[in-house]
Structure 1
């Protein structure tokens, strides 16, 4: 090993050890918000569709399937706050905190009310404007007060900025809408983090979306320094090793771009960072983690004395079997053309079949900087209609169809050929998907 390389490794190891020691000392003196490894997360009330499904399965004599759905609802999940007046959301938060205290557990709140939510797609909605949103945030912060809570702040809000939405610039002031988005997130972080036990995590998309440098830049601009950290994989399906590696790189890149060594040439230059799509040291394939060694090597060679300190959490509610490989639909009996398979690939985030529940929520992750695995997305709730009309599906019905499938263009536009039915709207209970997730859970729900 060259002497210079040995010196770098020794120096970085020493700095890392000192940084971790200081962090542990701060935590011991109550100066740092943490999720201890033995954290108990709050088990919410079952979604409205879960209990009727269990009752229906029991009436059909499908005892094991009924037990699977029931077991799924014993796992801690996030409470989603998606609308309502300030008074209404305050009541919901206060009620949840009381129930969590009874369980001696920590609630996870997912805030999903940002103006222009979901680019106006399946989950469109949100507050009318910045002022309304800030008032809504004020109500949540006041309701939490000094109690302990985890906040998942606005999924997709940073990975899918207004500038990414493809808006018509003659109808939307895209630059202003994007600037407003950062103003809204900054306000939410600053306000919510005033709670002495409120841990706020910001959106970082997932490992198969925005590149590491882009996400690092956006997180810094959104106020990641004031937050506990960031989250990934919400409502998605990427495996834990992909997400934790990607997240570690994002944390690395943030540290890299804030390091003032060597004259400060790297300050603010997050674009220099390697990613899941590119490394100057070798070809990186976002779908093949074996190739990610080249990005790992880039960080090993370029971090200098910068030490990553930005924490993160991962949504594992539906990643037990990993993401859907839409290329299977190119094979018999489906034999779909390349253009269709590409559309299915682009829409594989939307109610993909044959997935499974993933790692159960825990703060005992044994991964540096990974605060917790959480079930953020409510398993069993639809992502949306997932149809051709919304752009998530395409299908050549002349090549493959089934009896009972629609034969006219209007019916086919709102049909999901992957499930063979019309999917429920976003947020509605999807019983077929709920049971499929429970049956394919990894780890298994039942012995």
Structure 2
């Protein structure tokens, strides 16, 4: 997508160089020439070394199959820690694998000082200088690679020592930060990141737009402008949350319209923007058309037409929103409705073909199957009183939730139609041999197949027996031979191989047969 910078500067020091452009829309030719990073035909990257498949390697039975199935679909790579050199190398590794696959990686850049206000996802850089150096590392690692960048979940939703557009003080007030400068520091950090990452030739960068169960449209639009959305590609919604897609679409369109009014109409104030709270009633989706109508009237009254090419775009996290937000029971204390709610399902599969000119992609920003944290819901813990178990720590694999996300997915996620049994000998001086048995779990026979996997280290395929094989970097491709090509429904076939350069017993984390994921053991 071509960046279409919004014209008005939001009073941030990092944006002062654009002040002369206030209230003037930049022509498309002046926008950064990114190409169409998230165009309708973009292929989103499936990471063969993802944390999801890493989790699968230590699981068995249904839990293993669930992790392998979720790991077969595109989800984000989170960059959350490390030195500038370490994050550079991590970003470069993923970018390199994505380029080899002809796909676009989605990076979540998540390392702001006092991220999540030091709650469940505590951590982040020590200060602004450390953060800027870390961002420079991310940028160096991505380089010329095509990449979508989700910049700092909660970065604009939770701002230390901030006073919002309505004069309300932010609840996040860490004693370690100076109340006089903390909010300005947050905006300076985000503006630096926007400039560093949009300066790359093939990136699409999105800032935190929260979700419609949280901030009103005017409030988040004002924060987005202060955060540098005028120089980014847009904003993201629903990261790590559960709001259903129809609500996200309306909310995203309203934010885009509010930003359009605020940047193009000299007398407009973001606080005037209609929202999910007025004239709509937040809890009654049937009333949200009232806010649609209000924007129609406000734009017409300002003599301003919508322009999908020039307005801010957005992406939406659909990793866990197939059943929408959880309606919790009556509860004394904080129910933590956002924290591992039960009986949720995955939503729309990741794609850039949304049919909405403002909505660039459905993405799985939150890695589905990874825990939101240890949810005590106002109790002393350690059990989650709703689930009756102790939830894994934030970011750790949660088998029970993964099962729910697949079983209750809307739309449904197709089940694997193949299974691979893999056995290999312990390497001797780096050499090893193995055999694989492929089972056709589908209802139709297979006539000719290609099996693919990735090694985890420096292993090399020397020869396939009963098939033909090749390898590029760590990616192995094996094609059926005359005697192994046909597999009846419910039937099996097998082949063997010779390998070298193994340092330990190695089992690939994922196999695909004719491009479709298989379960494995």
* TM-score, normalised by the number of residues in structure 2: 0.68
The aligned counterpart of 2:274 is: 274
Q: 2:284 and 2:137 mapped to 1: Cα distance?
A: 44
Residue matched to 1:386:
375
User: Whole-Å Cα distance in 1 between the matches of residues 327 and 277 of structure 2?
Assistant: 18
Deviations 1:244-294 (A, max 9, x none): 10010000000011223xxx321xx11111101112xxxx22122211111
CA contact (8 A) 1:79 1:109 kept: yes
1:265 counterpart = 2:277? no
SS in 2 for 1:313: strand
Alignment match, 2:314: 312
Q: Compared with structure 1, are the counterparts of its residues 257 and 56 closer, same or farther at alpha carbon in structure 2 (3 Å cutoff)?
A: closer
Residue 286 (1) aligns with residue 286 (2): no
1:176 partnered with 2:181: yes
Are the counterparts in 2 of residues 68 and 439 from structure 1 also a CA contact under 8 Å? Answer: no
The structure with more helix, counted as a fraction of residues = 1
Deviation at 1:45, TM superposition (A): 3.4
Q: Distance in 2 between matches of 1:295 and 1:163?
A: 30
- In 2, Cα distance between equivalents of 1:376 and 1:168: 27
2:483 is aligned to none
Indicate which of 126, 129, 141 corresponds to 2:127. Answer: 129
Unaligned runs of at least 5 residues, structure 1:
1-21, 331-335, 388-392, 396-411
What SS does the aligned partner of 2:362 have? strand
Task: Select 1:349's aligned residue among 314, 338, 343.
Answer: 338
Offset at residue 159 of structure 1 (A): 1.1
Q: 1:77 to 1:147 in 2, by over 3 A?
A: same
Q: What is the aligned residue count?
A: 377
Out of 354, 375, 395, the residue aligned to residue 427 of structure 1 is: 395
**1:73 aligned onto 2:41:** no
Post-superposition shift, 1:413? 3.1
Could you say which residue in structure 2 is the equivalent of 1:39? 42
Distance 2:236 2:253 in 1: 11
Q: Give the match for residue 257 of structure 2.
A: 252
Structure richer in strand, relative to its length: 2
Change in CA separation of 1:418 and 1:138 when aligned onto 2, cut-off 3 Å: same
Match of 2:295 among 285, 296, 299: 299
Partners of 2:174 and 2:85 in 1: how far apart?
Answer: 35
Residues 50 and 170 of structure 1, relative CA distance in 2, 3 Å threshold:
closer
How far did residue 47 of structure 1 move?
4.8
In 2, are the aligned partners of 1:68 and 1:446 still within 8 Å (CA)?
no
From 339, 357, 362, give the equivalent of 1:368.
357
> CA distance change for structure 1 residues 78 and 56 in 2, over 3 Å: closer, same or farther?
closer
The alignment yields a C-alpha RMSD, in angstroms, of: 2.3
Whichever of the two has the greater Rg, that structure is 2
Contact 1:40–1:105 (8 Å) recurs in 2: yes
Distance 2:177 2:99 in 1: 44
Contact 1:381–1:427, Cα closer than 8 Å, also in 2: yes
Deviations 1:379-429 (A, max 9, x none): 111111111xxxxx136xxxxxxxxxxxxxxxx433211111111111111
Q: Deviations over 1:57-91 (max 9, x none)?
A: 43xxx5xx654432211000100000000110111
Query: Is the counterpart of residue 232 in structure 1 residue 237 in structure 2?
Result: yes
Match of 1:99 among 97, 100, 114: 97
CA distance in 2 between counterparts of 1:113 and 1:51 reads 23
